[in-house]
Structure 1
């Protein structure tokens, strides 16, 4: 058996599968750059694939974008199969999860680094995937799930992909049918997401200068979309609510 490349010893199946799916000819893998090991280097573009929370990669990204164009690739399970395995590796059960992931779920993670999309060196690519989550019984670690803990995630297929290159691209998450001004509850109802996720979306979009507060209705803060230019929504509402 050959010696594993730098950074691959602890790779999980989903991360490795996504890296192989994403790669094109002449890509280089696990390349040291500015003191960090980058998943994929494609010409001058650095590509990082993150399957867990963004806190673990925040400092690395902030360092790399100073001198390099960087793309962060993040998978969202649009469809999921849950397989439970016995200690001997045999399958106890396999079922399709009733939950369906959507692109909006990126805001659960994006709250950890919303400023990065304001950097022209940074892009974010979302992959909507079908995955298999393998669980094994562990009565100590898995008490919240009846003793079952997630051991591995496997890529079954990539359903769709979406690239976000700037804060302006983030406004596509707000339906054009949503009238201004609107509050968090209006956003949650229109996008059919829960209020907690809507709050995270608003926080990120405000940080990216995509939304601005436009007064209050009862105790709810109202928001408007921001654009650029002298006659923009931003200029008009800042004047009205200053």
Structure 2
């Protein structure tokens, strides 16, 4: 076997370089993997990122819409664990047009928040109602590789994002059921509460709080209690044997 073939075999054995993965996806897979795990396993019409015993593990760095159908199909007869990174800290690496030479590396002022996960979670919150589905957020430090090629967005001054690389996993937060998402509702919230109340309590933009309450409603952990003027009011869903908090009349 030649050196090129050895490199290919090694990459396949480590689960890297398959399915045209970007570096962040491959890096998370390597960080999560344990001895005995299997990579890129064909199953029906799908390819599973990682299989650990009877559990299927999928890694999605963004665009949950693209994986929604796959997850729904797999959950009919399998246990599925979804991994998703949220960026805590970012380094921006500038490369030349060939991508082979690093021109600079600087720390970005960007700071992510765990609530950023709702940007994607709004695409499939009802899946958390299924017992076979678990979800894990990886709070990470990453490198974002950019090139000044004039093809990127205006707010990045036409810099294209060429790759994302995992630097470190800072923390992991696992959600086994909808009840685990109640951590996003501070105990100081009025009962019932509005999206504006939640935005004030969490110091978050209103659009993010709307995403949070939408997801919690789909997970059946909160319900609509009524309206105050044009604002929806929410209450904690009743637990078995308990009554929900009373809405404002």
TM-score by length of 1: 0.92
Q: Does 1:72 align with 2:82?
A: yes
Give the counterpart of 1:118 among 112, 129, 152. Answer: 129
Contact 1:34 1:64 in 2 (8 A): no
Give, in whole Å, the separation in 2 of the partners of 1:180 and 1:99: 34
Report what 2:42 is aligned to: 32
Deviation at 1:179, TM superposition (A): 2.4
Q: Unpaired segments of 5 or more residues in structure 2? A: none
Contact 1:128 1:158 in 2 (8 A): yes
Q: How many residues align?
A: 238
Over 3 Å counting, the alpha-carbon distance change for 1:219 and 1:142 in structure 2 is closer
Contact 2:151 2:160 in 1 (8 A): no
Contact 2:152 2:161 in 1 (8 A): no
Equivalence map 1:51-66=2 (5 Å) = 51-66=61-76
SS in 1 for 2:105: strand
TM-score by length of 2: 0.89
- Per-residue CA deviations over 1:4-40 (Å, capped at 9, x if unaligned) read 6498141111111110100011111111122211011
Give, in whole Å, the separation in 2 of the partners of 1:154 and 1:227: 43
Give the counterpart of 1:86 among 81, 96, 106. Answer: 96
Report what 1:218 is aligned to: 229
Contact 2:192 2:246 in 1 (8 A): no
List structure 1 runs of 4+ shifted beyond 6 angstroms. Answer: none
Kindly report the root-mean-square deviation, in angstroms, between the aligned alpha carbons of the 2 structures: 1.9
Report what 1:148 is aligned to: 159
